[in-house]
Amino acid sequence: MRLFICSFVLFVCVSEVLSVYDYHARVGIPKAEILLQSENNIGVLGRIVGGAQATQFAYPYQAGVVVTLTSGWTSVCGGSLISNTRVLSAAHCWWDGRAQARTFQVVLGSLTLFSGGTRIDTSDVVVHGSWEPPNVMFDIAMVKITKVNYDRREPWSSSVKSDTTSSDQLRRRLLMLRLVPLMSGDIQLPKTVVPLAPFTVVQYVRIHFIIAVGYSIQAIPLPATADVNRDFAGLTAVASGFGKTSDAQNSFPPTTSLHHVTLQVITNAVCQQSYNDADVSIHGSHLCTSGAQGVGTCDGDSGGPLTAVWNNQRILIGVVSFGPDGGCQSGIPSVFTRVTSYLTWIQGNM
């Protein structure tokens, strides 16, 4: 068994023996241009295997990273906004052992990687001092950006509160409020309504879409220092990213949005059993999620977030790092950099 790093391959799952080495040349560069062209033609491509399309405000901490290498080529990664000046990502996105990044363009508040959202260029990136590819440990980097404002979309305006508003008029008004991305297709009115009240068009849309209105840009909290020794095994977590949606993806997919997937955190001991044949050591600084039923991260998700609810708060517990070359849907666990293992390092670079 060999391993692939969860970097950006649009159509082909590229692998290497337990290595993040040469990730940009093998993975990011060859297909970045195809992603750009696809966005120009049909919108952003979907990613994450076994998951679903993400809505506009579901993951305000999600960062896209457009990488410009010293060679002049373009590659891509992901990241997590952890403060209004810091994004956490994978070390191999900045230096993969062969290709060196010159700048990152951090993309926030957008479902598309090459268009839309708030876009911040930076070359201020700190890679963990012990990062040494092809070793897969210490795969973590801090990206420093200019201060970004947390962007809140206020729910509803008096301009849409009209019982006589038609579907077309409502769509135009929602567009002005930047709420149209929450919808797919035409506004569908119910054939029947709950007998408690005769819902109007506006009330129906309000009821069904107000839960998605909120921050389009906001940081994800880190685990508390008291949780540094917790393995989070058994928790249900969520990964999101701009990677492939299936191993068979070899053409433009019909979906056009950032994707997310629900994953089960497993113990490192269970995870190790899946990697023994590859002579891969799963260390304490790694965190794994089950690949059962063909779910997990895939090519293009590198550096992106794995979050879970702990003590009634969603927190960042992992950074997408690597997985098996048997395929994203092979059932083998996805492996992340464990955030709690690097809390001291993270706080020292805030």
pLDDT at 238 over 90: yes
With cut-offs at 50, 70 and 90, classify the pLDDT of residue 253: very low
Fold of the CATH domain 3-149+219-348: Thrombin, subunit H (2.40.10)
Query: How do residues 255-269 score in pLDDT, each as one tens digit?
Result: 336 777 899 999 999
Query: How do residues 148-171 score in pLDDT, each as one tens digit?
Result: 999 765 443 333 333 444 555 555
Supply the pLDDT for residue 294: 81
Please give the structure tokens belonging to residue 334. 């996805």
In whole angstroms, give the CA distance from residue 329 to residue 142.
Answer: 30
pLDDT at 242 over 60: yes
- SS3 (DSSP) at 328: coil
In whole angstroms, give the CA distance from residue 88 to residue 106.
Answer: 11
With cut-offs at 50, 70 and 90, classify the pLDDT of residue 303: very high
Amino acid of residue 270: V
Residue 335's H or E segment, with its range, is strand 334-338
User: Which of 335, 327, 317 is CA-nearest to residue 275?
Assistant: 335
Query: Which segments within 123-268 are labelled E, that is strand?
Result: 125-127, 141-144, 236-241, 259-266
Helix 167-176 vs helix 201-209: crossing angle, to nearest 10: 40
pLDDT at 344 over 90: yes
Q: DSSP letter at 107?
A: E
Query: How do residues 11-33 score in pLDDT, each as one tens digit?
Result: 333 333 345 677 676 656 654 65
Q: Residue 44: left (phi > 0), alpha (psi -120 to 50), or beta?
A: beta
More reliable by pLDDT, 4 or 340? 340
Supply the pLDDT for residue 42: 34
With cut-offs at 50, 70 and 90, classify the pLDDT of residue 270: very high
- Start-end of H helices in the chain: 23, 29-42, 167-176, 201-209, 268-275, 343-348
Q: What is the mean pLDDT of the chain?
A: 74
Query: How do residues 59-97 score in pLDDT, each as one tens digit?
Result: 899 999 999 999 999 888 899 999 999 999 999 999 989
pLDDT at 178 over 80: no
In the chain, where the domains are located: 3-149+219-348, 158-212
